[in-house]
Amino acid sequence: MEQKILIVDDERHIRMLIEQTLEELEDEGVEFLTAENGEIAFQIIQKENPQLVFLDVMMPKMNGMEVCRKVKKELLLDEVYIVLLTAKGQEIDRQKGQEVGADIYMTKPFDPEAILSKAKEVLGLQ
């Protein structure tokens, strides 16, 4: 089965940074998908069914919390592992992330090693 990772952020350089961080996974046959807003991300998730989504919280059109809620609570896609990425590290934000069904919450600036090891873990590429 082909494995897919969706990288969602409204800032192009952050999408590229995450993709570069994960590029060694391409050798394992992992495909990268990207989206610059929540609306596009939601469409891609429905169409492509990625195993892993790195999802920025603060975005135009539909924020990361809303995308996560729709994926987990409306589409009931529990097999899609969602990592919420945010500049806000407050406890209230973490709680909101858990309420909408996020699997894990990472604060920006993120540690590239943490991103890579989480991706390997989720995709079973240890």
The whole-number pLDDT of residue 1 equals: 63
The DSSP call for residue 125 is: -
- 2-11, 26-35, 67-76, 94-103: the lowest-pLDDT one: 94-103
- Whole-angstrom Cα distance, residue 62 to residue 42? 9
Residue 64 · residue 55 · CB < 8 Å: yes
- Whole-angstrom Cα distance, residue 22 to residue 14? 12
Query: What SS3 class is residue 22?
Result: coil
Average confidence (pLDDT) over 6-24: 96
Confidence of residue 32 (pLDDT cuts 50, 70, 90): very high
Q: Sketch out the chain's domains with CATH numbers.
A: 4-123 (3.40.50.2300)
